[in-house]
A and B are shown apart, each in its own frame.
Chain A
Amino acid sequence: DAGVIQSPRHEVTEMGQEVTLRCKPISGHDYLFWYRQTMMRGLELLIYFNNNVPIDDSGMPEDRFSAKMPNASFSTLKIQPSEPRDSAVYFCASSPYPGQTNEKLFFGSGTQLSVL
């Protein structure tokens, strides 16, 4: 398996523009997570899905952020409109069942977002 695949690797946009980040989890993984990493706040959990259903979105900072998982192999994180304080690295991660025995969490390489 190619692992968790995220696109784009880098995104530079202007304030007010819509940004869409994409993620393809590892096949067979029922859980998908979106994290944001900044120097100030570290890694923050934004939202996670189980079997394509959003379970907890309490980490989504504002209504400008939305996430979808239309099928088991694809998820998007959208920011509309984007603001400079949204600049961060956004990670997607997947796991078969993170609370079970020895099921680890696998991360994608991240999307470096810069909002000017």
Chain B
Amino acid sequence: KQEVTQIPAALSVPEGENLVLNCSFTDSAIYNLQWFRQDPGKGLTSLLLIQSSQREQTSGRLNASLDKSSGRSTLYIAASQPGDSATYLCAAYNQGGKLIFGQGTELSVKP
């Protein structure tokens, strides 16, 4: 059974810092791994998707990496801004069609 864990649960940084969010999964037989952003009271927005054959994906200031052998993914945010404040969730997609989510990391970027 796939389990997805995110560390830390919460993170507070000053504006301008580079930061890394961590995600680990127990079953390496994934099709892809996705990172989502959730703002308070809102739905989830997909940020990046990394296919199982890829090592990383980049979108603007965001870079996500995937290491299937170690069961880990990271989301790197460069030059953080207050607008980046949100909860970030990773989700692993396995055979059988299930996208399993971690508990999320609540990020606060202070001006």
Residues of A within 8 A of B (CB): 4, 31, 33, 35, 42-43, 45, 48, 50, 55-56, 91, 93, 98-110
Contacts and interface: CB of A to CB of B under 8 A. Distances in A.
Question: Taking each of A31, A55, A98, which has the highest tally of chain B beta carbons within 10 Å of its own beta carbon?
Answer: A98
B97 A42 contact: no
A100 B49 CA distance: 11
Given A102-B49, A104-B46, A31 B97 contact: yes
Interface in B66-111: 89, 91, 93, 95-104
A30 to B, nearest CB: 11
21 contacts: A33-B99, A35-B101, A42-B101, A42-B102, A43-B101, A45-B99, A48-B97, A50-B97, A56-B97, A91-B43, A98-B32, A99-B32, A99-B93, A99-B97, A102-B49, A104-B34, A104-B46, A104-B49, A106-B46, A107-B44, A108-B43
How large, as a class, is the contact surface on chain B? 20 to 34
B11 to A, nearest CB: 17
B97 A91 contact: no
Nearest to A103: B49
A50 B36 CA distance: 22
Contact of B43 (A42, A45, A104, A109): A109
A99 B33 CA distance: 10
Contacts of B31: 98-100
B42 A45 contact: no
A56 B89 contact: no
B104 A45 contact: no
B63 interface: no
Given A42-B104, A99-B31, A105 B97 contact: no
